[in-house]
A and B are shown apart, each in its own frame.
Chain A
Amino acid sequence: EPEVTQTPSHQVTQMGQEVILRCVPISNHLYFYWYRQILGQKVEFLVSFYNNEISEKSEIFDDQFSVERPDGSNFTLKIRSTKLEDSAMYFCASSERPYEQYFGPGTRLTVT
């Protein structure tokens, strides 16, 4: 069964550094998403991406964040200058239709 994959599984970085989290969505899916889950809190929507552009983003997704689909298979989330409060589990999801989303296993980001 096809699945969403994410790399790395765990990323440790120092405050102020740039990080790129990578995702490979399911191959025939057209909609792509990033969510995050701070330890002990809800899963929160960050951004959705369709037709090579951002279709929706939350208040969390400020200028420090960007997304890109650099080729036909990868979907990346970049955090330009990480802060301590960016420490969280980041989930990538993809869907063939707008609302039935399939999630990857997540990348745990630890900012020190």
Chain B
Amino acid sequence: AQSVTQLDSHVSVSEGTPVLLRCNYSSSYSPSLFWYVQHPNKGLQLLLKYTSAATLVKGINGFEAEFKKSETSFHLTKPSAHMSDAAEYFCVVSVLNQAGTALIFGKGTTLSVSS
């Protein structure tokens, strides 16, 4: 069975400092991994995806994530936080190449950015 664990429920950073949101996954198959972001009262926006190509994945708004199979991790990073990055972030796993694949969400990490 597939699952994801987001290791921090809340991360606080100062504007201009690096962001690290941690995610570990469990999958019996070759996983597809995603990060989604949810701003207050908004829908879920796809930040980036890993689907067995390059292990370092670049997404929107300066975010990137590295797939590490040996560590079963897919941590999300950004070199310099911006106030607008404050939101809920979800690490998500899916099984590759199945019709109508369900996405399995982590519990989410709330990112706070202070000035």
Contacts and interface: CB of A to CB of B under 8 A. Distances in A.
Nearest to B93: A99
Given A50-B99, A55-B99, A98-B99, A45 B43 contact: no
B52 to A, nearest CB: 11
A14 interface: no
Range of interface residues on B (Cβ < 8 Å): 20 to 34
A14 B43 CA distance: 25
B114 to A, nearest CB: 24
B43 A101 contact: no
B112 interface: no
Nearest to B45: A103
B44 A43 contact: yes
Contacts of A31: 99-100
Interface string A33-77: 101000000111100111000111010000000000000000000
Interface in A1-55: 4, 31, 33, 35, 42-45, 48-50, 54-55
B contact face: mostly helix, strand, loop, or mixed = loop
B107 A58 contact: no
B44 A99 contact: no
Contact of A48 (B42, B49, B95, B102): B102
A48 B101 contact: yes
B103 A35 contact: yes
Contact of A98 (B49, B101, B107): B101
Interface of B: 32, 36, 42-46, 49, 51, 90, 94-108
Interface of A: 4, 31, 33, 35, 42-45, 48-50, 54-56, 58, 91, 93, 98-106
